[in-house]
Amino acid sequence: METNLKLCTQSQNREKLIIREIAVLAVATALLFASQVALAFLPNIEMVSLLVIIYTLVFRRKTLYIIYAFAILQGVMYGFGLWWVTYLYIWTILHIITNVFYKNESPLFWAIVGGAYGLAFGALSAIPTIVIGGIGAGVAWWISGMMFDVVHGIGNFVVILILFKPLYLVMRGIANELTY
């Protein structure tokens, strides 16, 4: 019995989350959620994109735990509307994009990715509207929010350009403590 417990908690068994990992992922989720709530008064200026990129670079596929816990917290805080459905896939798309380019550590590169992602956010968010209301409704919804997408893209670019390197180094140090 003692041997089985020991095997489940050792870092060599990467398929199971050890308690320290769960705690770090929970704190990362809380930071993601708190940063979104703290900046909610600014239209489409956020740190979520930056943190999803950094978490993906550091925690890799375990970032999905953070993304879906964040989505649930968003639903609890703001209600489970049609917008919430987008949170189930939109941050996963950024996670996938980041995984494709995971070897790149350039703040400028990630600022460009984040800026482009912010510009595309409205189009990606229009997908449920297209499914429910048709292509016309989705396109109308997307066009009506284009100014917010421009702000989102510029905001992502600036935030990521400034904060990527220091936050990435901190998170990488934390991950190294967990023997990732």
Question: What is the band of 31 on the pLDDT scale with cuts at 50, 70, 90?
Answer: very high
Indicate the pTM of the whole model: 0.88
Are 51 and 31 spatial neighbours (Cβ–Cβ below 8 Å)?
A: yes
Are 121 and 149 spatial neighbours (Cβ–Cβ below 8 Å)?
A: yes
Q: How far apart are CA 51 and CA 46, in angstroms?
A: 10
Q: How far apart are CA 161 and CA 119, in angstroms?
A: 16
Please compute the mean of the pLDDT values over residues 119-141 and round it to a whole number.
Answer: 94
Tokens representing residue 70 in the block: 């964040």
Question: What is the band of 10 on the pLDDT scale with cuts at 50, 70, 90?
Answer: very low
CATH class of the domain defined by 17-175: mainly alpha
Are 98 and 52 spatial neighbours (Cβ–Cβ below 8 Å)?
A: yes
